[in-house]
Structure 1
Amino acid sequence: MQFNKSKKNIEWDKYMVYIIFVAVFILFAIILGDEGFLNPNNLINILRQTAMISIMAVAGTFVMAAGQIDLTVGSITAMTAMFVSLVIQSTNSILLAILVGLGFGCGVGFINGILVTKLKLPAFLATLGMMQIVRGGAMWITDTAAVPIANTTFNKVFGIGDVMGIPVLVLWTILFYIVGVLLFNKTAFGRHTLATGGNEMSAIYSGIKTARVKIIAFTMSGAFAAFAGMMYAGRMQAGRYSYGEGDEMSVIASVVLGGTSMAGGTGSVVGALFGSILMGILNNALILAGLSSAQQTMVKGAIIIVAVAISNLTQRKKNN
């Protein structure tokens, strides 16, 4: 008598980020427990520090699930922080600053979508070029000078405030992930995003407007990056051209570690959250371990290689 074992097979790749997360956490808890790693303040600080990456990773999941990549998110955060700081300094209007910041992010994201869908440029090259343009603009707009924000309300709402002891950065992260999970798992747009990345030709034959899906995903990525830029500005109480440097790589690593294939067609918003927090834990642990900034950069590069390798291996396994 034979039993059908296929039903009992577990797709371990879906849970890989959670397994790695628990293993890494336990490892550092054992090694760095005496260094303050398990201190509640340190753990909250990890969540606070990773909030911006986490929020950008929500939209990054949509972009990569659609088979695309966005390298502009880090530069958008910098330029948005500069714009927000300048608007508040000139008008002291928080609402106007928010509208300008989000408008800028949506605009850059929309342009990225047009470059990819209408001009048929590869997403990597299109967003790489836009990244340089936006980052250069952030440097040029104030000649690399920082722009302080004196509006305490803005700083508290988007950066340094807390509600019943919970940092607002953590609360914003929770809100964005609730929205992201619902949008990705419970709406037609989420299904269309996966279909577009999985097999675009089949999606087109099914009546899905794949170009529109990509444009919306890029626009969403720009908007989320702009919000992250406002959080940077609120937390640091100033706008600075250097915000977000390297964040695009951290977002990609977080999303891929979270179970989203770089080839598209699969994705997990919750996984991206664990991926971003895992990156934050690694950064925190490397600092506690006394590694230099150069050594930390090397380790981050290795993490990105591992993340891409895992993505490729998972994709090959599914194809086979």
Structure 2
Amino acid sequence: MSAGAPTAVAPARDGAVHGLLSRLDWRRDIIYVGFVVVFLVFAVLLGDQGFLSTTNLLNILRQSAIVTIMAVGMTFVIGCAEIDLSVGSIAGLTSITTAMAIASFGLVPGVVAGLAVGALVGAINGSLVAFVRIPSFLVTLAMLGIAAGVAQWVTDSAPQPILNTTFNTIFGSGSIGPIPGLVLWSAFAVAIGAVVLRKARFGRQVLATGANRTAAEYSGINARAIKFRVMMLSAMAASLAGMLYAGRLHSGRFQWGAGDELNAIAAVILGGTALAGGRGSVVGTLFGALLMGLINNGLILAGLDSSQQQVIRGVIIVLAVALARNK
């Protein structure tokens, strides 16, 4: 009996492994596998260069935080089968608006002015997409140029310093114990976004609209209103990101956020959100942003210059879109 026991256990173990693999959705869960694999590779190759130090790991979280916040808003947009290319420019415009308002009127008006930028741009994007029915790609591509141009124009390309220490401490420079404030902001955004997307009625309506707009409308969902709201949400997230850039770097500049739209989109797609809409995961988006930050950090420690890092990031975006394709 004892001699035959191992042979009985082996098929059971193999069956359990097979069952686990059969339940694994590779397009949905590949981000978690990829994150662990990349982390282990860098830990082995760059361990003697301080990759595993607490300071460096916190630095990865800090560097990923602002893109994570943008990507949370982008998750709702892409889950609704739309796109927002203007988030990076909105962040830059918000940073200079906040800086100029703080210098002229004080802390609270500065924060309100920064949020007002997101509300205004989001309302314009949302109205054109939802009610005028211009494709979101074209609307937000145009807004990318408009927001960046306005930010550069009103400042004459000059940085706008922020000397208000309270603002800088709250929005980016402060910390609670060893935890950077940026990490707390991103954790808050991820927690709220995950609950809304999975548990709230609005989140279910977003995914239903992205999966099949006609069916969603027949079921009583106001698809136009949903599209308007997701564009608003994305712009407001970008405005928060712009204020965090301003607080972290103690200034507003039109360059802050430039190129972040690509990183945010890549994080969302890597995180398992379907590019065609109808499926999304805010937690997956978080790991997508962390993976991008992890790769950037590892490439820097490995000695690659910025141009080589851009090439690698471009390859990652292509792979993300390829993985997002339906079978």
| TM bucket normalised to smaller | over 0.9
Q: Deviations over 1:2-24 (max 9, x none)?
A: x9x99953323221110000000
Q: Structure 1: give runs of 5+ residues left out of the alignment.
A: none
Q: Deviations over 1:254-298 (max 9, x none)?
A: 000000011000000000000001000011111111111111111
| Matched residue SS, 2:262 | helix
Distance in 2 (CA, whole Å) between partners of 1:242 and 1:73 is 12
Query: What is the aligned-residue RMSD (CA, Å)?
Result: 1.4
Counterpart mapping for 1:49-68 below 5 A: 49-68=63-82
| Matched residue SS, 2:153 | helix
The letter for the 1-side match of 2:30 is M
Distance in 1 (CA, whole Å) between partners of 2:63 and 2:43 is 19
Q: Shift of residue 90 of structure 1?
A: 1.1
Among residues 287, 309, 312, which one is paired with 2:322 in the alignment? Answer: 309
1:101 aligns with 2:96: no
The letter for the 2-side match of 1:32 is L
1:33 aligns with 2:34: no
Distance in 1 (CA, whole Å) between partners of 2:26 and 2:314 is 25
Q: Contact 2:27–2:324 at 8 Å: present in 1 too?
A: no
Distance in 2 (CA, whole Å) between partners of 1:303 and 1:103 is 34
Q: Match for residue 290 of structure 1?
A: 303
**Greater shift in the superposed pair: 93-102 or 40-49:** 93-102
Q: Match for residue 292 of structure 2?
A: 279
Distance in 1 (CA, whole Å) between partners of 2:125 and 2:19 is 43
Among residues 131, 135, 141, which one is paired with 1:118 in the alignment? Answer: 131
Q: Match for residue 3 of structure 2?
A: none
1:13 aligns with 2:24: no
Q: Deviations over 1:112-154 (max 9, x none)?
A: 1111122211111110001100000111111000011100110
Q: Structure 2: give runs of 5+ residues left out of the alignment.
A: 1-14
Q: Whose Rg is larger?
A: 2
Among residues 172, 177, 189, which one is paired with 2:202 in the alignment? Answer: 189
The TM-score, its normalising length taken from structure 1, stands at 0.95
Q: Match for residue 243 of structure 1?
A: 256
Judging changes above 3 Å, is the alpha-carbon distance between structure 1 residues 220 and 144 closer, same or farther for their aligned structure 2 residues? same
Aligned pair count?
Answer: 310
Judging changes above 3 Å, is the alpha-carbon distance between structure 1 residues 143 and 202 closer, same or farther for their aligned structure 2 residues? same
**Greater shift in the superposed pair: 294-303 or 248-257:** 294-303
Among residues 65, 84, 98, which one is paired with 2:98 in the alignment? Answer: 84
Among residues 203, 215, 235, which one is paired with 1:222 in the alignment? Answer: 235
**Greater shift in the superposed pair: 73-82 or 11-20:** 11-20
Distance in 1 (CA, whole Å) between partners of 2:56 and 2:19 is 43
Of all paired residues, the percent bearing the same amino acid is 48
| Matched residue SS, 1:213 | helix
The letter for the 2-side match of 1:294 is S
